[in-house]
Amino acid sequence: MSQSKWILALVSLVVFVLPLAFGQSQFGSLNGTVTDSSGAVTAGASVVVKNVASGEARKTVTNREGFFSVPTLPAGTYQVTVDMKGFQKWVGSGIVLNGSDSKTMTVELKVGSASETVEINAMSQEVATIDSGEKTALISSKELQDLSLVGRNATEYLKLLPGATLTANSAINKPAYDGQVVGINGFAVGNSAGGLAAVNVNGQGVDITQDGQHSFDPGAAGTATPVNPNPNMISEVKVLTSNFSAENAKGPVVVNTVTKAGGNTFHGEAYFYARNQAMNAEDAFNKWTEKSQGQAPGSLKIPSSYYYPGFNIGGPLYIPGTGFNKSKQKVFFFEGFEYYRQDLDGGLDRSFVMTPAMLNGDFSGLSSYGASIKHSAVGAVPTAPAAGSRLGFDIRAAAGCTITGGVLSAACIDPKCTEPATG
């Protein structure tokens, strides 16, 4: 195959593999005004905005008001260079853009020769978001690596943010879904698989996007997240709580996650996260059951483990021996894989064999909490429901069924239920 056909095939692959549309929330924009030392605006100044990781440079010039704007910049760290004849070259580094950011800066040029350069470092603290009234909270890539997670869903970090609360869970001080298991079709063993671990922010529901694409349906209660924002594969989590711009169509609170991107050099990692029940204490209720029933200690401790091996790699996409992306500053890739192996503790299904008295309608023994059945209470002492609340019982009551102190009269029991089985 000729070199041109190789390039055409590669370009076709990239085009058709990428999503049909990109959400704008994964990009930021950088605006600014260039002035001289007297404060007068400077028209026609050359502005270069360079992505530090990839080396990709975007060029523009200031208009007659001295203003420049560079939109749709991928989230990352940038260097800005401003150059104009008769002035010293101005270089600002460390300018961080997050997803959905719109930041504005002011550049002051000083008179001098083109060979002289004024360098400004750590500009991220000086470039503010002033073109938007949005209220946001950011979890950076470093925090994603340093903070601990129960599971493998980066949205667990939301529980650390101001205004984030857990949905009530039967007065139990834990979420209904804690993120340590992967939900499938809204279901997880022993739990609800709510997409955000039962967290709301400032009392409002939450929508999740990844690279601008919606990955969670806030309108369906208990819906799991089809695309799990993996902490080893994303560069940031940005939570927009109010007053954000129109490209974030859903809400009322939007969680934007941005996938890591490849740069002009190759980087990668391999990792293995593991948890095993050998390091866990036994459930106190199981220990009580073992003791009350004379079972060996630890006999009811259910095996459970979580193993997550994975890897990722990113860098420039080029073909050795050809001229395609020879500069390594045009096309980039990032790929990641993680395997989920989970042996889940779904809890114990607790039951007991009914005593002869219970078979004859006497359930009063349940009130003694295991004294007669040698088990923890797994049911309540039956009581007669209010008239009209249970049609079936109303029919039985009319036939003489009564329930007193947990004892059912003979009219409550179908004779077929007490007949011995025949074979």
List Cβ neighbours of 376 (8 Å cut-off, separation of 6 or more).
285, 288, 289, 292, 350, 369, 370
- How does the average pLDDT of the chain come out, rounded? 77
Q: Where are the domains of the chain?
A: 3-132, 137-343, 356-418
Amino acid 227: pLDDT: 63
Per-residue CA distances from 302 to 108, 150, 177, 222, 287 (Å):
67, 19, 19, 26, 12
pLDDT, tens digit (0-9, with 9 covering 90-100), for 144-187? 888 877 778 787 777 777 777 655 555 554 555 555 655 555 45
Amino acid 5: pLDDT: 53
Per-residue CA distances from 323 to 1, 3, 327 (Å):
15, 9, 9
- Among 116-130, 174-188, 364-378, 399-413, the minimum mean pLDDT is found in 174-188
- Among 67-76, 214-223, 340-349, the minimum mean pLDDT is found in 214-223
Amino acid 15: pLDDT: 42
Amino acid 334: pLDDT: 93
**With a threshold of 0.75, does the pTM exceed it?**
no
The secondary structure of residue 376, as a DSSP letter, is -
CATH of span 3-132: 2.60.40.10
Mean pLDDT of 235-241: 85
Q: In what order do the strands lie in the sheet with 102-109?
A: 67-74, 27-36, 102-109
